[in-house]
Amino acid sequence: MNDLNNCAEFHELYELYSLGVLDASEREGIDEHLSAGCAECRAAVERALLQNAIISGTVTMVKPPAQLRARVLAGFGVQRREPNWFWAFAAVAAVLLLAATGLFLQNRALRTEMAEAAQRNAAAGARLAAASEILQAPGTRLVTFGPGEAPHGSVFVHSKLGIVMVAGTLGPAPAGWNYETWIVPASGAPQAVESFTPDAKGSAITIIPGPVGVNSVKAVAVSLEPPGATLQKPTKVLFAAAI
């Protein structure tokens, strides 16, 4: 389908459409037109996306904080020292070959360490996959909490897949204390879900997999819990993000 009047009119709007800043009535008209399969307009949307990227590229460049690279890559199991493991392994192997003593025991220890590292990576990968699935699933809602304050962050909620909470500026827990994530139901007592330790920069990602009763869950909260806490109720609530 190709309605020339609509096409000519819509071409002026595709940059705003692909930015997501059109008013609902205009956006719905374009959605309907595109879903009818207008190839010319699809190409126009592609050009608009490119044009928007060019305009965005004129932004004044700001150098990211130095620690951000490590923080982003840590989320993918990539750490600065990781490449050195290869060379460490090679060096150890060479020494073992030359020494020719204790080879079996040391090699077994090394393999055990590598297997444990692989298990840790697999677990981290599974968590990351679960988080990514929730982040990109259609219908995922975004709730932010404490913008500009400490702590702050985002909660992603999908009614079937679960909840991902990304929190920042948490600060180190007092010695022996733990951070704990809670589900706060609309009625009844909060339920402890998962304890966690923020990274060195105070960031943490908590994943609560599984269906979420959007009408029965009121909020996601984080507390600090002292040693030996029974987790029957939060001890020191830091924030609660209403969902």
Partner 1 sequence: MAVLYDRFGGLLYSIIYRAVRDQATAEDLVQETFFRIWNRIHTFDAEKGRLEPWLVTIARNRAFDHLRSVRGAASELTSFDELERTGYFATAAGPRTDRVVQQRAVEQALTSLNETQREVIELTHFEGMTQAEIAEKLKKPLGTVKGLVRSALRVLREAAEGSAQ
Question: Judged by CB under 8 A, which stretch of 87-95, 101-109, 115-123, 144-152 contacts partner 1?
Answer: 144-152
Considering only residues 94 to 133 of the shown chain, the ones binding partner 1 according to CB under 8 A are: 128, 131-133
Burial of 63 (0-12, 13-18, 19+ CB in 10 A): exposed
Q: Which of 6, 106, 154, 178 binds partner 1 (CB under 8 A)?
A: 154
**Which residue's CB is nearer to partner 1, number 12 or number 176?**
12
Determine if 68 is a binding residue for partner 1 (CB under 8 A): yes
Choose which of 72, 114, 117, 200 interacts with partner 1 (CB under 8 A): 72
Binding mask 204-243 for partner 1 (x = CB under 8 A): ----------------------------------------
Nearest Cα neighbor of 243 from 176, 158, 121, 172 is 158
Out of 4, 5, 8, 21, name the contact with partner 1 by CB under 8 A: 21
Cα–Cα distance between 154 and 146 in angstroms, integer?
9
> Which sign, positive or negative, has the C-alpha torsion 77, 145, 27, 51?
negative
Report d(CA 171, CA 200) in Å as an integer: 8
Instruction: Compute the distance between CA of residue 72 and CA of residue 77 in angstroms, rounded to an integer.
Output: 9
